[in-house]
Chain A
Amino acid sequence: MTSVREWIDSGRHAVAERWHNAPRWMRWAVIAAVIVFFYALPNREFYQWLGPIPTTGSNFGQVLFTVSIYVLLAVGLNIVVGFAGLLDLGYFGFFAVGAYTVAVLTSPSSDLKTLWPWLLALPVALVLTMVSGVMLGTPTLRLRGDYLAIVTLGFAEMIRVAATASDFLKGQRGFNQIPHPPGSYSDGKPIFGVLDPRPYYWLVLTLIILVVIGVRNLNRSRVGRAWISIREDEDAAQLMGVPTFKFKLWAFASGAFIGGLAGALFAGKQNFVSSQNLELLNSIIILAAVILGGSGNIVGAIVGGGLVAYLIERFRGIEFFGVELYEYRFMFFGLVLVVMMIFRPQGLIPNRRRAAEFKDRRKEVIVGG
């Protein structure tokens, strides 16, 4: 077992090292190729050549949309958990705030009867989720570790219960006829329709790219350093002049913004939002995705979120000795997590600080030789 692990590890190190030593243009070329691949992925003409990768039990475009939403959520939660080290078990609550804000403002079944278009409701939803992040954060960010985890868990449950019980939020009946995002093809057909999930996927994919650029900029600035210093040693950070409370709030607000964005996109695609969308399990899945991918690393969060959401969908429609695998998806998921925590607790793609190590080891060799 150990030798297998060493073999995998050395392989990964080699890949990482080659990546960090590659010339700039080559890295950009690889990134561009990956992006093109994912834009092409939902087209049948493309994915039919990919063997077992496309899902059999459900529309592949639809699956890709779900996966992309999870990726977006994982990127957002990674700011809170991975960078700032704040254990947030209620992250899905922000998704709910985003989705419900859009629903309340746009749906004909809403009591407000405002019937706004989706695009107008979007910025309101984003602002409201950020505000909810600050509202949740202001009293709770004085707590640390386990205490914060429990309070955030309570936040997500509160939102779920409120959505189920309140007349205004329509409970399980939910909101229907939520409008789609705007835009139409030259022949007058809407781009974002009911039948074709691909435009939604492309929209989310584009937004993921923008969000990742933004998060990367933050991470490589004073803000990112403040977050990581808080994760590493909050007291020391404070004594080095980091206004820790302020930056923890920013971590919460930025994470909430991205969660709200995912919720608003989901509502715009799905037409329908009800309290059944708000299971606690969702918060746990996203957290597991971040940890699986490599907490504190943006690429890790993307890979984790994508992998987890994809595998869960992939199980659909596969029968094994007469047993529908999809029914046991969470068992497999749990098993994978346990195995990961034993053999690779830092996640599939660990945090960026490792990269610097590789670089320097190489430098030392050159100096020494």
Chain B
Amino acid sequence: MGETVQKPTVPEQAGAPAVESTAGDREPLLEVDHVTLRFGGVVALNDVDFTLYKGEILGLIGPNGAGKTTCFNAMTGIYQPSEGEIRFRGERITGKKKHHITKMGMARTFQNIRLFPEMTALENIQVGADAHHKTSVISALFRLPRHRREERDGIEKAERLLDFVGISGRMHDAARNLSYGEQRRLEIARALATDPVLLCLDEPAAGFNPAEKEELLQLIRKIRDQGITVLLIEHDMRLVMGVTDRIVVLEFGKKIAEGLPAEVREDHRVIAAYLGVPDDDVA
């Protein structure tokens, strides 16, 4: 979507581990490189290591408290890894400002919806669109041509996105007056307004009924078809299996499995993590 900046090509490392059977020689977009994150004595992420390739939908799953959202927060600049680093489009983003990472093309939604409640749906999306706007305070103060142009572009984009996520009827409603499902959609639209290359969705289906989940699946596929890479945190195994190209499984801050949905589903560690194992089976 309008984003034309090309990632500087990273030379392919000779002898790179060929774990990703499907990824082949695709271009890595996001590299989480042996990231460890400690809060005092608690190890929230322990040597987590995975790569996200351009154009795929990657599922990040795991039981409650496995560190999925922490992983998101480390990627978007909220937390700084204690060890390891994160590279986005070949550039190290550890230590970069949050709004800068957004400008580089990473956008996210939140597990517990965090819209701007008093602003209208339209304005919420406009804030996202403003990420790439350059109107200065002076040009806003005197309504100079750049302000008018960007304002018009922002509104057009917002209208298009409201339509894209299917809530165009609520354009002028305050975000807090939207229904739960509409708020989730609005969050996705707001994130898309920043023209991301990578969209990170943090449990977008939480609290949805099966019909709503199905609609969300369609939406995620539609987003991917626009050329946007998607990282999806999700609890619902059915949803994850239905939409993702690959899956990374976390448990207690560690990666315990990675692979195609079908492979992961059969992995005994994943099954154990999700369903638990009888005490005497724990080796």
Binding site for B on A (CB under 8 A): 214, 217-218, 221-226, 228-229, 232-233, 235-244, 250, 254, 351, 353, 356-357, 359-360, 363
Contact = CB atoms under 8 A, between A and B. Distances in A.
A356 B172 contact: yes
Nearest to B103: A241
A217 B130 contact: no
Contacts of A239: 76-78, 98-99, 102, 108
User: A-B pairs with the 7 shortest C-beta distances?
Assistant: A241-B131, A221-B140, A232-B116, A241-B102, A236-B114, A238-B98, A222-B130
Interface stretch (B27-35, B43-51, B118-126, B203-211): B118-126
A286 to B, nearest CB: 23
A228 B140 contact: no
Nearest to A352: B118
A93 to B, nearest CB: 22
B265 interface: no
Contact of A218 (B126, B137, B172, B194): B137
Contact of A242 (B77, B99, B174, B177): B99
B118 A232 contact: yes
Interface in B105-146: 107-108, 110, 114-120, 123, 126-128, 130-133, 135, 137, 140-143
A221 to B, nearest CB: 4
A229 B194 contact: no
Nearest to B76: A239
B131 to A, nearest CB: 3
A224 B141 CA distance: 10
B150 interface: yes
Instruction: With a 10 A CB-CB cut-off, give which of B116, B150, B173 has the most chain A CB atoms.
Output: B116
Most central of A221, A240, A250 by chain B CB within 10 Å = A240
A356 B137 contact: no
Contacts, number: 107
A240 B131 contact: yes
Given A232-B118, A242-B131, A225 B126 contact: yes
A238 B119 contact: no
12 contacts: A222-B140, A233-B116, A235-B114, A240-B107, A240-B128, A240-B191, A241-B194, A242-B127, A242-B130, A254-B137, A353-B119, A357-B177
Most chain B CB inside 10 Å of its own CB: which residue of A241, A360, A363: A241
A47 B195 CA distance: 58
A232 B130 contact: no
A243 B99 contact: yes
A221 B133 CA distance: 11
A80 to B, nearest CB: 15
A224 B140 CA distance: 9
A236 B116 contact: yes
A213 to B, nearest CB: 9
B184 interface: no
Contacts of A240: 99, 102, 107, 127-128, 131, 190-191, 194
B173 A356 contact: yes
B151 interface: yes
Most chain A CB inside 10 Å of its own CB: which residue of B99, B115, B123:
B99
A167 to B, nearest CB: 38
Interface in B57-91: 76-78
Contacts of A242: 99, 127, 130-131
B147 interface: yes
A351 B143 CA distance: 22
Contacts of B127: 225-226, 229, 237, 240, 242
A226 B137 CA distance: 11
Contact of A244 (B99, B128, B137): B99
A338 to B, nearest CB: 25
B119 A225 contact: yes
Contact of A221 (B99, B114, B147, B174): B147
Nearest to A357: B174
A120 to B, nearest CB: 23
A367 to B, nearest CB: 9
Contacts of A237: 116, 127
Given A240-B190, A242-B130, A229 B99 contact: no
Contacts of B128: 240-241
A228 B116 contact: yes
Contacts of A241: 99, 102-103, 128, 130-132, 194
Contacts of A250: 137
B174 A226 contact: no
A357 B173 contact: yes
A243 B194 CA distance: 13
A353 B110 contact: no
Nearest to A215: B141
A225 B172 CA distance: 15
B265 to A, nearest CB: 32
Contacts of B191: 240
A351 B130 CA distance: 22
Given A229-B119, A232-B116, A237-B127, A353 B174 contact: yes
Given A222-B150, A224-B140, A244-B99, 6 more contacts: A222-B151, A233-B115, A235-B114, A236-B115, A240-B128, A240-B194
Nearest to B118: A353
A224 B97 CA distance: 22
B14 to A, nearest CB: 37
